[in-house]
Amino acid sequence: MKRLNRYSYIAIIVSVVVAILIHFPEIIALFLSSEIQTFFPDITVGDVVSEVVYTFLSLSLIFALNIIIFKFNLLMASVTWRRIMLSFIFSFFLSSILSKCFILLHEHLDIPAIDSARHYILHPLRDFIIACVATGTCYMLYLLRRQQAITMEVQQLRLENIRNQYEALKHQLNPHMFFNSLNTLQALVREDSQRAQSYIQELSKVLRYTLEVGDLHNTNLRSEMEFTQAYIYLLKVRYEENLAFDIDIDDKFLECRLPNISVQVLVENAVKHNEISSRRNFTISIRTDDNGNLCVSNPIQLKRFPVISGGIGLSNLSKRYELLFHRDITIMRKDNIFTVKLPLVKL
């Protein structure tokens, strides 16, 4: 129904414009003095208005019949050159018939019209112009609707492709965190049952968050940091005083968006690749900067025996940013400090 209304509006506008342009010489003649009205002598305003209105009604009827007969409004219809030529021939002869009907109405019912031999001579040319306009407009509207349909289909396919890519990326997330957490929990159960209960509570928060955001592609910084704090508790139980965190988040960025579980990925990546011991303490900094980035930094103190990694964590995070926000993360190594900047997106 919406497409039909849009077609009707365009058909009416085109019909009005063409009706005025076709009779533009007669309209101009109305403003000339009677002495220089050589082409259309003795014409009146009523004659010109009647001609314009009849041309408008004729064009509107031709548009409607073209849609009904030649199915220009159906996207599935095959609009070939044969159909276009048939539409043109049909429009031309229908316009000719309607012109003759108007002349008969003028002669027998005194409908106002321009009585001029030159005017009648121009009728075939006007019929040709009307046929060109009607067929051309119908075909252009068909192409426009077809292009819009193709664009919408491409957009839907693109969104589906992005959704599939994102799901594939989520399944690449390393379960390393959960294995380490279970190992730590096993040790706590034997050594300190009270701490084990606290550890289970924080672990449940982490697991709950990962389940709750399972169908969400992004979250706000507030929720992400609440999850990160629970994950940090798990790490501090494991590494005790050897691992520290320096967190400074500006409240004005708390509602900004970022991919879910992105901060945890960076923290886990830092812990995974660097030595954390009583001999070499380790501090991870999580801060917001004035440019709207969340900066996660750590000193570079790689383990003696490097962990074999395919670089999935950072690559995954970069791809998720590209898919969700068309932005990218920034990775920096300077003065023995490794920093990843995550753009915080305001929606």
For residue 227, the domain's CATH number is: 3.30.565.10
Give me the domain span that covers residue 261. Answer: 173-343
Same domain, 157 and 180: no
Same domain, 65 and 105: yes
Give the type of residue at 171.
H
Same domain, 42 and 139: yes
Query: Which are the contacts of 64, defined by CB distance < 8 A and separation ≥ 6?
Result: 11
Q: What is the rounded distance in angstroms from the CA atom of residue 136 to the CA atom of residue 113?
A: 28
Same domain, 119 and 210: no
Site of tokens 């002598």: 41
Q: What is the pLDDT of residue 166?
A: 57
Same domain, 205 and 294: yes
Q: What is the pLDDT of residue 1?
A: 44
Same domain, 275 and 323: yes
Tens of pLDDT along the chain (347 residues) come to 444 567 778 888 999 999 898 888 888 877 776 554 566 667 788 888 888 999 999 999 998 898 888 887 776 667 788 888 999 999 999 999 998 888 888 778 878 877 765 556 677 888 898 899 999 988 888 888 888 888 887 777 676 666 655 555 554 444 556 676 777 777 777 777 777 888 888 888 877 777 676 556 788 999 999 989 988 988 888 888 999 999 999 999 999 999 888 898 899 889 989 999 989 999 999 999 999 999 999 999 998 877 666 556 788 788 888 878 889 999 999 999 999 999 999 97
Same domain, 218 and 128: no
Q: What is the pLDDT of residue 290?
A: 92
The residue among 114, 144, 168 that closes a domain is 168
Q: What is the pLDDT of residue 163?
A: 63
Same domain, 272 and 133: no
Same domain, 298 and 334: yes
The encoded tokens of residue 154 equal 């491409």
Q: What is the pLDDT of residue 162?
A: 64
Q: What is the pLDDT of residue 92?
A: 92
Q: What is the pLDDT of residue 213?
A: 62
Using alpha carbons, select from 127, 120, 117 the residue that is nearest to residue 92: 127
Same domain, 89 and 111: yes
The residue among 109, 142, 168 that closes a domain is 168
pLDDT tens readout for residues 254-270: 999 998 888 988 998 89
User: How many domains does the chain divide into?
Assistant: 2
Q: Helices 221-239 and 262-273 meet at what angle, rounded to 10?
A: 20
The residue among 168, 197, 229 that closes a domain is 168
Same domain, 150 and 265: no
Type and span of the H or E element at 287? strand 282-288
Same domain, 205 and 338: yes
